[in-house]
Amino acid sequence: MANRDAATVVAVVVLGVLVAGASATAAPSDVVLHVTTYTQVPARQFSDARRAVVTLYASIGVQIVWAGGVAASAPADGALHLDVILLNAAMAKRQQPNVAAFGQASHETKRAYIFCERVLDHAHLTGTDPGRMLGLVLAHEIGHMLLPRHSHTAIGLMKAEWIGTITAIPEFLPEQAETIRTLTSKRP
């Protein structure tokens, strides 16, 4: 019972941080990530992952804003609103039976699913910092929502497969960064 209560506190704190991190009005170049979670991710690891995503996207001139709720009910504020859903192991298995996949996303639906247990298990097995691994997967799947279909590359952040220890989160290729900047700057 104590573990469940502690997990509930962590989930409430994480959601509170998400909502507190959202700005009242988003600028047109903002990408607002509406996060729904069905699993427990340690608060420190999720915070590290969020920071990594914000830093990576800021390096290409895009501001990331974190929020709760869902994109469909977001105000028309000129920002690009995307849904990110953190799934538990059973949900991940139903969504994507390929156990090598860490997430999936769609440019058309503007929705990403993150298979958290797979991500954190890979981090543990390879000695990768869990926050860095989760940040990499989040940034990669957000990239799929922003870039056209078939956006995998041989190198860089949008590489199709991740094996071994992740020592750093790679950057977008220059043409990908330009595509994302163009998309976010053309928002009404």
**Mean predicted confidence (pLDDT) in 153-173:** 96
CB 157, CB 139: distance < 8 Å: yes
C-alpha span between 54 and 139 (Å, rounded): 9
Q: Name the burial class of residue 124, with classes exposed (0-12), middle (13-18) and buried (19+) by CB atoms within 10 angstroms of its CB.
A: exposed
Through-space distance between the first and last CA atoms of the chain, rounded to whole angstroms? 49
Half-sphere exposure of 131 (CA within 13 A, CB side): 13
Which pTM was predicted? 0.85
Fold (topology level) of 2-185: Collagenase (Catalytic Domain) (3.40.390)
Q: Which helix (H) or strand (E) holds 112?
A: strand 111-115
Contacts of 89-92 spanning 24+ positions with Cβ under 8 A: 89/39, 89/115, 89/117, 89/118, 91/38, 91/39, 92/116, 92/117, 92/118
**pLDDT value of position 186:** 74
Over residues 31-42, the pLDDT tens digits come to 999 999 999 999
**Mean predicted confidence (pLDDT) in 75-83:** 93
Number of H helices, E strands in the chain: 6, 5
Domain boundaries, the chain: 2-185
Over residues 116-160, the pLDDT tens digits come to 999 999 999 999 999 999 999 999 999 999 999 999 999 999 999
**Mean predicted confidence (pLDDT) in 44-56:** 98
**Mean predicted confidence (pLDDT) in 61-77:** 94
Has residue 47 got a pLDDT over 80?
yes
